[in-house]
Amino acid sequence: MGRSEAQQRIEELKAVLRENSRRYYVDNAPTMSDYAFDQLMHELEALEAAYPEYATPDSPTQRVGSDLGRREFVQYPHRYPMLSLGNTYNLAEIEAFADRAVKTLDTTFTYSCELKFDGTAICLTYRNGRLFRALTRGDGVVGDDVTENVRHIANIPQQLKGDYPEDFEIRGEILMPYASFDRLNEERARDEEPLFANPRNAASGSLKLLDPEEVGRRGLMCTLYHIPSQSLSFETHSQALDAAARWGLPVSDERRICHDIKEIEAYINHWDTARRNLPYATDGIVIKINEMAYQNILGYTAKFPRWAVAYKFKAEEALTPVLSIDYQVGRTGAVTPVANLEPVLLSGTMVKRATLNNADQMALLDIRIGDSVYVEKGGEIIPKITRVDLTKRPAGTQRPVFPSVCPDCGTPLVKEEGEAKYFCPNTDGCPTQVKGRLVHFMGRKAMNIIAGDATADQLYNRGLVRTPADLYDLTKDQLMTLDGWKDKAAKRFLDSLRDSRNVTFDHVLFAIGIRYVGETTAKEIALHFGNVDALMEASLEDLLSVPDVGDVIARSVHDYFRDERHREEIRRLKAAGLRFAMEGRTAASDVLAGKSIVISGNFSISRDEMKALIEANGGKNSSSVSSKTAYLLAGTKPGPEKIRKAEELGIPVIGEDAFRAMLPGNAPAADLPADEEEPNLFSGLV
């Protein structure tokens, strides 16, 4: 390769690696496998070594991947740089790592071998035994402050026990166990939201949510594996982790002290198989020099410690023929191609089907019925076709033709500008869409009616239900005609129908299933318009004035309510007793419009009621103080860290009385018990 070719290739690799690093760390939606990414990184490293004149300080080889992107979180510098690890898929390179350490140190030492957890990095600081701060890796120099979110992860202690030191850092990984991942993706599939490709992406995305309580519901866990030597003094890395475990911190008990390369390879070989029995994802083994003094001698590169290396397991894949391709219709009419495969064992389970996403993905793979395809599991969960083995393609195969009409109802499909998928426009007549919307309407995050797919199928197939309003006309006698239904099941269903009449307007709006209107958007729209009558008469311009509502969503909502069938459905649901106005008002107050408010402490009403009061007057609730925060609303016993952040950023701190004085009617706070009076420090600040 000549110099000009080398320079061109280096620039190409930098661009590809930067873009895919952003997709991986910031978007949590990678389009390249870890193996492919690592191979490109190794190619860039080799080219920069051969042509050092083209190596630059901002090269991906010199910087850790950064998760900085969204500005909703306050950022703090790491006390000590938070580096990445060098990695390899080759046991010979692990042997070379061990040989270099032996030659450099010229003495006896041990290795700490540990599982490489497939999550998102976290750095915890404890002061006086209490969790003080939690930072993401960020760019290795600064990280996002996600302390409030981390406080909602069950196995991270808020208070340590035993002989803990006064002030120290410990680092590790936030994980999403397989069970939590399955549950989350099942919910997203029901709502036709994009699925997370693997538990790592789900964990990273969940950690950056703006609602700490939702973070708590995601079922995350933490495993800690490193105390920086500058933070605490121990003779060995293993002693440091043993101490952390005594203090109550979650440390893996699958570590092993190894003395030579044979023991290291035995550990690797064991876990290459045994990891499939773990309840969470791992993607390799980390080998560290155990003695802290020798770690200091070996030191660091700009990006990696020289005293540690990661051996990464290759994603397990299997080769199997494509038997046929189905085209499935979702509740919003999106048509998704699915490949039916000759069953093949992969990561301990039998794989028979794999989604192909859309027509563009099919064309990119150039997949055909009869092809032999490589299948792997993203995060060992979701089967994914990665490529076609063209050497095994049978003669005479033809490219599959994506259907031009709905495979369920025969209506011509449409593809809207900017959309990757084809849709069936027969929203109210396509059986699959109708049943899908019934399931969505009854879902836990919508109306929370006790029923599922099987019930929706029976109700539809027997002609009892065609729209959600029909559910409220059902009688016990009709329900008792369903297969397998007894008195108790019918009563539970009718009781849940009765309770659904108390569901708030924003959930009802989400439940009726307007395309592109998810939970958050439904709440924004409900708060903005206050009631369904105002919403039904809203113009496109009115809808575009709602925060976070763009052209596509505005057009979808506008078109939905222009359809007389949908307006009649709303009238029937109203008559059934569902709530179509935000509690306590018929129109949104805008006195807090555009203001982001963080609450901390106790108030004369519950925290949920206080948040509802903020939203009812046009404000937005935020979980953490940032430069975008309008006010920190402090009750009794507010969090000192939030107060400190507000002072640091110059954010006004107000008390409950001052807050209520802003609202229509200047409603005063309810009387507080004498021992919980609101501190004068906050009561007058605006």
Annotated catalytic sites, by residue?
116
Task: Tell me the three state secondary structure of residue 224.
Answer: strand
Residue 666: burial class (beta carbons within 10 Å; 0-12, 13-18, 19+): exposed
Whose CA is closest to 667, among 594, 617, 596, 600? 617
Query: What DSSP string describes 2-26?
Result: -HHHHHHHHHHHHHHHHHHHHHHHT
C-alpha span between 292 and 237 (Å, rounded): 6
Q: Are strands 167-175 and 120-127 parallel, antiparallel or unpaired?
A: antiparallel
Q: Encoding tokens for residue 672?
A: 């507080």
Through-space distance between the first and last CA atoms of the chain, rounded to whole angstroms:
66
Task: Tell me the three state secondary structure of residue 96.
Answer: helix
Q: Contact 368/289 with Cβ under 8 angstroms?
A: no
Q: Side chain identity at 501, as an amino acid letter?
A: R
C-alpha span between 478 and 462 (Å, rounded): 10
Task: Tell me the three state secondary structure of residue 532.
Answer: helix
Q: Contact 286/226 with Cβ under 8 angstroms?
A: no
Q: Side chain identity at 648, as an amino acid letter?
A: E
Using N-to-C axis directions, what is the helix angle for 178-190 and 199-207, rounded to 10°? 80
Q: Are strands 349-355 and 334-346 parallel, antiparallel or unpaired?
A: antiparallel
C-alpha span between 129 and 169 (Å, rounded): 11
DSSP state of 275: G
The structure tokens 């426009």 sit at 425
C-alpha span between 471 and 459 (Å, rounded): 9
Residue 423 β-bridge partners: 334, 414
C-alpha span between 506 and 149 (Å, rounded): 24
Q: Side chain identity at 597, as an amino acid letter?
A: I
The structure tokens 């069938």 sit at 565
> 685: which residues sit within 8 A by CB, 6+ positions away?
652, 653, 654, 655, 658
Q: Contact 526/505 with Cβ under 8 angstroms?
A: yes
C-alpha span between 460 and 479 (Å, rounded): 12
CA pseudo-torsion sign 288, 289, 290, 294: negative
Does an H or E element contain 317, and which?
strand 317-329
CA pseudo-torsion sign 633, 639, 640, 646: negative
C-alpha span between 473 and 201 (Å, rounded): 43
CA atoms within 13 A on the CB side of 293: 5
Whose CA is closest to 471, among 507, 444, 438? 438
Q: Are strands 130-136 and 120-127 parallel, antiparallel or unpaired?
A: antiparallel
